[in-house]
Amino acid sequence: MDSGGGESRDSEGTPLQLPGDWESLPPQLEAKCCLRTSSSSVSSFNCSSAESEDEVFSDGAPSSRNRRQLLRKMKSWKAFFTMVHWTCRRSNSWIQLAGHEGNFRLSEAGFILKKFSVNESQCLQKLMGDVLKPYVPAYYGVVEKDSERFIQMEDLLTGLHSPCIMDCKMGIRTYLEEEMVRDLQRCSYRKDLYQKMNKVDPEAPTEQEHRQAGVTKVRYMQWREMISSTATLGFRIEGITMDNGVVLKDFKQTRTKEQIIATLIRFTDGCPLILKAYENRLNAIKEALLQSPFFRCHEFIGSSLLFIHEKGRVNVWMIDFGKTTTLPEGHTLQHNRPWAEGNREDGYLLGLDNLLGIFSATLAQQENAAEPSGEVSERPPVHR
């Protein structure tokens, strides 16, 4: 087994004292922030079947032979392709792998095994020596199981029973420039992606795409970016799971600030303390990013922020580094400039700033809504 740079963490989920660890709310306020979710509270969300991002990222369309088996696996949103959702039975915890089973394997308590990727393994190893270390899963090297190689990393849900989880994909584009060039050279038209596009918006495909009943992968991904908040705000919500297990995943056309504010209120139950704790954590991540040598010399594509809270404990983690690419020697990125072909800018900081602004606006809205009693106290006294 390759040695990793991770340190052991409390498997019982006790808040740690390192920078960027769990934000804990005052015990007397935890009860006020416990989510009151129920099946009726989320009934307005359209939980249609989710698509697999692995399916989109693959170069070829799924064969008819494997399509039925593939569809059985694709019952959860993309965030569950990159993490595990676990629950507890009495004192013995167990890990429930959801979504794309092939990416994860069971491991010891406190760890997960993720299918090996050279890019992700190298990134996590470098991050263990960077200022971003407190904000990414701890890396414990590469292990082999059943003749397959896996990355062993920290299970970010250790110690939690029924957390609320949200996955936000960061950046203004979700494909590498190399993918765009390769896509243009191959001119491979995929029927499965055309069908997905046509299902959401029959007017989105061009006349030629309708005739050939196919679109290229990059064309599909660019369309996804345009109909969501990726192109305009530099991030998009991929999916949410509530503390009662209800999964919300129909965010393909969530693109306005007002829509995102409404989603954050649903996700946090409008609790100002949770919103403030998330805002603090995002500010800490931004400060670390601005100081990070790793961030300056890497292109962040397809990376996500994972938001987790449960009973007053709040955290945000940087995850998914499979498409994070090292820049040529001597090159750096600003991460806050628009993308133009050749500049490799990913817009990560643009997205983070917009996300911070929306969290702040949501917090202000909820704090204002909670102040009706103040108006009563300002009424003039009644003279008798």
**pLDDT tens digits, one per residue of 107-122:** 877 888 999 999 999 9
Residue carrying the six token digits 């503390």:
243
**Percentage of residues of the chain with pLDDT beyond 90:** 41
Residue carrying the six token digits 């590469």:
142
Q: Kind of pairing, strands 85-89 and 139-145?
A: unpaired
The reported pLDDT for the residue numbered 136 is 97
Cβ proximity of 153 and 111 under 8 Å = yes
Q: Can you tell me the mean pLDDT for 213-225?
A: 85
pLDDT tier for residue 279 given thresholds of 50, 70 and 90 = very high
User: For the chain, what is the radius of gyration of the CA atoms?
Assistant: 22
**pLDDT tens digits, one per residue of 286-325:** 999 999 999 999 999 889 999 999 987 999 999 999 989 9
Q: Can you tell me the mean pLDDT for 191-211?
A: 91
CA atoms lying within 13 Å on the CB side of residue 91: 0
Q: What average pLDDT is seen over the chain? A: 76
Q: d(Cα 334, Cα 356) in Å, to the nearest integer?
A: 18
Q: Can you tell me the mean pLDDT for 156-167?
A: 90
Q: d(Cα 274, Cα 268) in Å, to the nearest integer?
A: 7
The reported pLDDT for the residue numbered 6 is 60
Q: Which residue has the higher pLDDT, 2 or 213?
A: 213
**pLDDT tens digits, one per residue of 325-363:** 988 888 998 888 887 776 778 889 999 999 999 999 999
Q: d(Cα 123, Cα 384) in Å, to the nearest integer?
A: 74
Q: What is the DSSP string of 82-144?
A: SS-EEEEETTEEEEE--S-GGGEE--STTEEEEE--HHHHHHHHHHTTSTTGGGS--EEEEEE
In sequence order, which residues have a C-beta less than 8 Å from that of residue 252 and are 6 or more positions away? 200, 224, 227, 228
The predicted model scores a pTM of 0.74
Q: d(Cα 212, Cα 209) in Å, to the nearest integer?
A: 5
Cβ proximity of 292 and 91 under 8 Å = no
